[in-house]
Homo-oligomer: A and B are copies of this chain.
Amino acid sequence: MKVEELGEFGLIRRITQQIARRAVECDASVIIGLGDDAAAWEKTSGVVEVLTTDTLVEGRHFDRKYTSWLDVGWKALASNLSDIAAMGATPSLVLVTLGLPYDLDVESVDAFYDGILECAAEYGGVVVGGDIVGSSEFFATIALIGKSSDALLLRSNAREGDVIAVTGTLGRASAGLVLLKNNLENGTTRTSVLRSAYARPEPRMSDGKLLVSHGICCAMDISDGFLADLGKLCEASAVGALIYASAIPIHPEVRRMFPEQFMDFGLGGGEDYELVFTGSRRIVDGLIKVLPSGGTIVGEIVQGQPGSVVVQDDSGCVINVDSTGWDHLLR
């Protein structure tokens, strides 16, 4: 069935029922959820709320040829959750706006929403509303509200002398995308970790909370590539950064599959959804031993042109990196 046969309100009803069937226990403070002009909720004092939004557009951020609608839905929410994780907050309410081509299958929308709901069941968030419009290409905008009763992790809190660390490993998602695009090793177990890093990113919710509880106050998520995002963090903090190339944690499968390019993937590849954070060496040393996703010190915050990031090899030589991240409007 095509969405144009069902119509907007039929589709909204369908999605509402779909959500109701899978209803996560709803936050008791939600007063108005789906079905009214707006969602409403009540907060007690002392709790800080955070709000973020992120959009996927077909043909720009994903391709149906190698991404299932289920995975598109998952990723649409996961990319927002990653922003909430990077604040050290906990997700609460989700608004979903869909732009849908007239001839899209309703089953695709079902699968898309299933992906959102699977991700929400795993990491949190209750869908409380949204909007559906017609458009020539598919897009999905999610607005996500989170909350925290602790301090927040801000980009602007890096200080000279801090060490720089990242969770997990870098470059998996961009390497996975290359495999998917070129249909390389499709179906092999060994490289599935790369494909799933691209298709099913895991927002670092627990890591974010742990950073806060250990007294870290500066972090952001790595969605546009490590160097590009670190540059934004440094710009916000009016500092520079020095990165040791050999310290970058690159997954062994990325090294094996791309022996010439692995460093470009690690430093420049997008969509890793790991966290980069800074803090005193003492705190970070202790912290990386207990982070659920693991952690690695990769450099230090230095005086310098705000936003400038220098990458050094083991002999202290500056390395030029080809790929410096993803800008949604530059071609």
| Whole-angstrom distance between the Cβ of A183 and the nearest chain B Cβ | 25
A327 to B133 alpha-carbon distance, docked (Å): 9
Check: A65 CB closer than 8 A to any chain B CB: no
CB contacts (< 8 Å) of A9 on chain B: these are 232, 327
Whether, in the assembled complex, A3 has its beta carbon less than 8 Å from a beta carbon of chain B, the answer is: yes
Bound together, the chains give a CA A53 to CA B8 distance in angstroms of 16
CB neighbours (8 Å) of A133 from chain B are 55-57, 60-61, 139, 328
Binary interface encoding of chain A residues 125-162 relative to chain B, with 1 for a CB under 8 A from any of its CBs, else 0: 00011111111110101010110100010111000000
Chain B binder among A97-105, A116-124, A252-260: A97-105
- Across the interface, A331 reaches (CB within 8 A) one of B4, B41, B95, namely B4
Contacting chain B: which of A81-89, A188-196, A243-251, A287-295? A81-89
Does A210 interact with chain B (Cβ within 8 Å)? Answer: no
Q: Is A42 an interface residue (CB 8 A)?
A: yes
Binds B, one of A31-39, A66-74, A261-269: A31-39
Question: Judging by beta carbons under 8 Å apart, are B38 and A83 in contact?
Answer: yes
A199 at the interface (CB under 8 A from B): no
* A55 / chain B contacts, CB cutoff of 8 Å: 97, 99, 131, 133, 141
The closest CB in chain B to the CB of A220 belongs to: B37
Known contacts A37-B220, A137-B135; decide if A329 and B128 are in contact (CB<8 Å).
no
Binds B, one of A17-25, A44-52, A172-180, A313-321: A44-52
For the complex, what is the distance from the CA of A331 to the CA of B236, rounded to whole Å?
47
Copies of this polypeptide in the complex: 2
* Number of chain A interface residues as a range: 35 or more
- In the bound complex, do residue B89 and residue A38 qualify as a contact, i.e. CB atoms below 8 Å apart? yes
| Interface status of A283 (Cβ within 8 A of chain B) | no
Q: Smallest CB–CB gap between A201 and chain B, Å?
A: 15
Contacts of A26 in B (CB 8 A): none
Point out the residues of chain B lying under 8 angstroms from A238, CB to CB: none
What are 25 A-B contacts defined by CB distance under 8 Å?
A3-B329, A7-B330, A31-B152, A32-B50, A36-B156, A37-B83, A37-B87, A38-B52, A38-B86, A38-B89, A42-B45, A42-B48, A43-B47, A52-B95, A53-B130, A57-B135, A60-B134, A61-B133, A95-B143, A97-B141, A99-B139, A131-B141, A132-B329, A134-B329, A136-B136
Inter-chain pairs besides A6-B329, A8-B330, A37-B220, 12 sampled, C-beta below 8 Å: A32-B50, A32-B152, A35-B155, A35-B236, A37-B52, A38-B51, A39-B52, A42-B47, A43-B43, A43-B45, A44-B45, A51-B128
